[in-house]
Amino acid sequence: MSWLREHACAAIRWRTVHDVLPPGSVSHADLDLLRAELLQYGPVVQTIKKQKSDGTWGGNMLGLVAAKAQGIKDVGTVSRYRHLVELGAPRSERAFQLTDRVLYRVLSRDDDPKLLFEYQKPAKANPGLAVWARELLREAATAALAHAGLVDDPRVRGAAHKILTNVSHFLRSDAAQKPIVRKGSRNILNPDAHPPSLFAIATLAYMSNVQRERAGLLERMGAYLGRSETKRSYTIIIGRKVLQPTFHFLGDPLQTDSAGNAKDLPFALHWIELLVRLGMLDESPVAKRILARLIKDCDGQGVWSPKNLRSVPKGKSRLADFAFPLESDNRNPEKRKADVTFRLALIAKLAGWELDFV
């Protein structure tokens, strides 16, 4: 903890004090100082500055990267909003209030075509795509609001239960055993299959109040996410539209090399955190192997210090870019270690491990 307080950026220092250290470990004066530094931290300032007056970023909701050829100049609203949450920006910031309005409109089942965002144009001649897109957007909005701590809001709870009921129906169905079927020369997702999205999984992970009410679903989901994900590539076909399954999983999505290193470290850390919040870490042998490797690479202070760390690890999938890295300085060798060190501390705290705070 002392190493993080000395070497990490304002966001990680704030998150360390707020989410890892025991309550009362830091004086109110120190908290006020850390909060002031956080509000001046470059990524916080820049993210808020890029927000549009309507509460969105980039003119889209689910984009993981900018796509200028498609007119998308920035990462999507859900990722930007969740990035602010991960940075530790206070809920009192106007940026949250502006985006909350958009997210709640998505939850309200408002049929305004504009609320389809990036799916608006392709959905005009494809009613099935409109239905599919609205469902995915509602899942993303619910996950974002739950991640921001609005777990007791009746609108969020209602949306969460509906999403999880759909997941429960899938896990009980025959389609869960055969989610991929052949159509012509393609492998496609079984039209009757509705596998859990990353947003649905995150929603349940952040809502411990809902977890207590869905014990049966937790058990079934743990078994589902613990099984090896199929290596067969497939697409999702809705009408004439062919989509890639960016946010949906058919089992455990983690991959490692022969030494136990995660092939996509940012996503692996995010996924492990979700599993710990769900109480499902033991269901995933791959996650446990990655975590063991990360801990093995920590020094005597608990600082993640792998050999030949020349840059901050980058995610191949981009699915966890909103959470990693929080540190903006890639040139300082010490700062390259900060994000993983903090995540390991947070995972340990969430897992209920006995910790020595030094």
What pLDDT, in 10s, does the model give residues 247-299? 999 999 999 999 999 999 999 999 999 999 999 999 999 999 999 999 999 99
Output the pLDDT for position 69: 65
User: Coil, strand or helix: which one is 325?
Assistant: coil
Check whether 73 has a pLDDT greater than 80: no
What ranges do the domains of the chain cover?
A: 1-17+256-358
Furthest-apart CA pair in the chain: how many Å?
66
Check whether 26 has a pLDDT greater than 80: yes
The structure's pTM equals 0.95
Average per-residue pLDDT for the chain: 94
Whole-angstrom Cα distance, residue 52 to residue 67?
Answer: 17
Whole-angstrom Cα distance, residue 82 to residue 84?
Answer: 5
For residue range 300-331, list pLDDT tens digits in order: 989 999 998 888 888 899 999 999 999 999 88
Cβ neighbors of 298 (< 8 A, separation 6 or more) are 304, 305, 341, 344
**Percent of the chain at pLDDT above 70?**
99
For residue range 41-71, list pLDDT tens digits in order: 999 999 999 999 999 998 899 999 877 666 6
**Percent of the chain at pLDDT above 90?**
85
Whole-angstrom Cα distance, residue 226 to residue 279?
Answer: 12
Output the pLDDT for position 282: 95
Output the pLDDT for position 357: 79
Output the pLDDT for position 157: 97
Output the pLDDT for position 141: 98
